[in-house]
Amino acid sequence: AQKVTQAQTEISVVEKEDVTLDCVYETRDTTYYLFWYKQPPSGELVFLIRRNSFDEQNEISGRYSWNFQKSTSSFNFTITASQVVDSAVYFCALSEGTTSGTYKYIFGTGTRLKVLA
Amino acid sequence: GAVVSQHPSWVICKSGTSVKIECRSLDFQATTMFWYRQFPKQSLMLMATSNEGSKATYEQGVEKDKFLINHASLTLSTLTVTSAHPEDSSFYICSATLGWTSPYEQYFGPGTRLTVT
């Protein structure tokens, strides 16, 4: 069963528009961590934000903001005033513990964002 | 801090040969390292989890004899693709955790692009 769902496969916006990327997750754990990563064409994953299951405080960092809602199991990401350099694939990931004691990531399928000049 | 490197960044090899990819944690000791595979326009797929000094744990469907993983030290893990075939061409990404301080967060290497001709 899909545990991290990014329903938006591809989004195209015009520069300066705001865009929200959706992420819905599923877990039975009470302690878990959520992440957003950006993957530009170079391929290297760029860390954007981490949230643990006990911290529902939403955050704004420059043009980026995040909305974490446990009630709906969602962890959405908004870019305000998008720029061409924001064009990339964005991955949402859930980190949860395993029976062996390690944590594993479950990645969503990614959302490809294209910002047009 | 928490920098992970991979070498080489890209490699081309002939069908039937073996190729080794190195993953190093540069400024920390990584008790656990992970290897992922990513096909074009797809998400990251976990191949295996390796702990220093012990055998790697492979995900279901990953051929252990084809993808040899060695985690010889707390800063180095290697992935060897044996008898490579064109279908093994992919982007391989490793990651590492900061041990017991934050086992839930992975730090990613820049990836290695493998092309088998």
Q: How far apart are CA B48 and CA A72, in angstroms?
A: 31
B contacts of A32 (beta carbons < 8 Å): 104
Mean pLDDT of chain B: 94
User: Of the candidates B97, B103, B108, which has its C-beta nearest A45's C-beta?
Assistant: B108
Q: How far apart are CA A55 and CA B115, in angstroms?
A: 42
* CA diameter of chain B: 42
> Are the beta carbons of A105 and B46 separated by less than 8 Å?
yes
Specify the pLDDT at position A2.
56
- Chain CA centroid to CA A9, Å: 13
Q: How far apart are CA B93 and CA B102, in angstroms?
A: 20
Tell which of B44, B71, B107 to mutate to test the A interface (max A CBs under 10 Å). B44
A contacts of B106 (beta carbons < 8 Å): 95, 105
The mean per-residue pLDDT over the stretch B43-56 comes to 91
Query: How does DSSP classify residue B62?
Result: -
Q: How confident is the model at residue B12 (pLDDT cuts 50, 70, 90)?
A: very high
The answer to whether B36 and B92 are in contact (CB under 8 A) is: yes
Give the DSSP letter string of B1-53.
Answer: ---EEEE-SEEEE-TT--EEEEEEESSS--SEEEEEEE-TTS-EEEEEEEETT
The answer to whether B95 and B34 are in contact (CB under 8 A) is: yes
Instruction: Check pLDDT > 70 for residue B21.
Output: yes
Q: How confident is the model at residue B17 (pLDDT cuts 50, 70, 90)?
A: very high
Q: How far apart are CA B93 and CA B109, in angstroms?
A: 6
* Beta pairing, strands B44-51 & B106-108: unpaired
A contacts of B3 (beta carbons < 8 Å): none
In order along its 117 residues, chain A shows pLDDT tens digits of 559 999 999 999 999 999 999 999 999 888 999 999 999 999 999 999 999 999 888 888 899 999 999 999 999 999 999 999 999 999 999 998 888 888 999 999 999 999 999
**Nearest-CA distance B99 → chain A (Å):** 10
- pLDDT digits 0-9 by tens, B76-88: 999 999 999 999 9
Specify the pLDDT at position A16.
97
The mean per-residue pLDDT over the stretch B88-96 comes to 97
Name every residue in B having a CB less than 8 A away from some CB of A. 32, 34, 38, 41-44, 46, 49, 51, 57, 91, 93, 95, 97, 103-111, 113
B contacts of A105 (beta carbons < 8 Å): 34, 44, 46, 95, 106
Q: How far apart are CA B75 and CA A30, in angstroms?
A: 31
User: Which chain B residue is nearest to residue A97, measuring alpha carbons?
Assistant: B104
3 state DSSP class of A24: strand
> Are the beta carbons of A102 and B105 separated by less than 8 Å?
no
* Beta pairing, strands A10-14 & A111-116: parallel
> Are the beta carbons of B97 and A91 separated by less than 8 Å?
no
The answer to whether B6 and B95 are in contact (CB under 8 A) is: no
Q: Which two tokens stand for residue A109?
A: 């399928």
Lowest mean pLDDT among A65-74, A92-101, B37-46, B57-66: A92-101
> Are the beta carbons of B93 and A108 separated by less than 8 Å?
no
Q: Report residue A57: phi and psi, to 5°.
A: -65, 125
Specify the pLDDT at position A1.
53
The answer to whether B5 and B93 are in contact (CB under 8 A) is: no
Q: How confident is the model at residue B51 (pLDDT cuts 50, 70, 90)?
A: confident
